[in-house]
Homo-oligomer: A and B are copies of this chain.
């Protein structure tokens, strides 16, 4: 950090390092949990229908039309729906909105790495609770005194989902805290907690258009909760940036929601490919968590995960490795197309043969 005088009031923060984004299209990109399939065909039509002239106007400040479409999908009042610039922004605003206690916010010690970053950014105390030996969240840990809790469900990078009864146990043991359930990966088989918001006023569920709806490039995220939670979130949004969702992204999001059949079909494809890939890796001696997400979290006895990462990169295949102790023997592999997974399996098999791992 600089010693220049004008720099003395700079925030002290550790820059977050984003995952690798190759400029080339020649790689098999299984490192960012992106959808291997395009967005719903209606998105193309919605983009073509955008009236460029209208872009001189500000967008709807509260994303009214998009919120209505989301509300209709879930049978909710639009007052129970919030939208912003990706679920990362939704989560950041929610942390600022609801976690203002001297008691620590609780989240697992293996989970989305942005949670501690938001806590640092906003000066929120936090405590990481240990997963069990199988990387599972223990609901009883969240009965401890806290200033809030946040749970990725399915969790990342394990892909393991909590059962609805486990979520309810956490919600009922926290009558004095807001519990955020981050469902960025819920579209690939896990049970959503959105239906619980009418029962638990302390529940905020966040979701994303990035994964299941293949719209990562447009930055759309949403939250569901009782009207009181959503009103506070809206006020904080209005105190940060009045118009986080642009007109084009909103139109594309609405078009995506309109095609539920396409969404379901693509999710089913990803799930089927995930299960086939899991079986093939299992046959090659890998073990893995029980993923309900669009990625696999895999390891193998005798395997140097970082070496396999490098080998795959040499073959033009990007996957993700976390150097955090406890998970550094694992790789997180996004579920791509069947062709992409065949190339992955071939490269893994070659690596095992070259290294004489059996």
A residues engaging B (CB < 8 A)? Answer: 2, 4-11, 13-18, 21, 29, 32, 34-39, 43-44, 47-48, 50, 52-61, 85-86, 88-89, 92, 96-101, 117-118, 120-121, 147-148, 174-178, 201-202, 210, 214-219, 228, 231-232, 234-236, 238-249, 252
Contacts and interface: CB of A to CB of B under 8 A. Distances in A.
Given A11-B96, A234-B15, A217 B248 contact: yes
Contact of A148 (B9, B215, B242): B9
A213 to B, nearest CB: 9
Contact of A21 (B60, B232, B240): B60
Contact of A100 (B4, B10, B14): B10
Contact of A44 (B4, B52, B58): B52
Which interface residue of A4, A11, A214 has the most chain B CB atoms within 10 A? A11
A242 B38 contact: no
Nearest to A248: B248
A216 B58 contact: yes
5 interchain residue pairs of minimum CB distance? A6-B202, A15-B235, A55-B217, A217-B247, A56-B214
Given A10-B97, A239-B13, A55 B214 contact: yes
Contacts of A8: 101, 176
A61 B18 contact: yes
Number of copies: 2
A58 B85 contact: no
Contact of A43 (B37, B55, B96): B55
A54 B217 contact: yes
Contact of A217 (B59, B202, B215, B216): B59
A9 B98 contact: yes
A55 B218 contact: yes
Given A243-B88, A244-B85, A15 B238 contact: yes
Given A16-B235, A56-B214, 7 more contacts: A9-B99, A9-B101, A13-B236, A14-B235, A37-B56, A38-B53, A47-B52
A52 B34 contact: no
A211 to B, nearest CB: 9
A18 B316 CA distance: 48
B218 A247 contact: yes
A186 B88 CA distance: 32
Nearest to A62: B18
Contact of A34 (B39, B58, B246): B58
A100 B236 CA distance: 20
Given A39-B56, A52-B43, A248-B248, A177 B9 contact: yes
A9 B52 CA distance: 43
10 contacts: A6-B201, A11-B232, A15-B239, A18-B61, A47-B52, A55-B215, A55-B252, A58-B217, A85-B244, A92-B240
Nearest to A8: B176
A314 to B, nearest CB: 22
Given A44-B52, A47-B50, A100 B11 contact: yes
A107 to B, nearest CB: 15
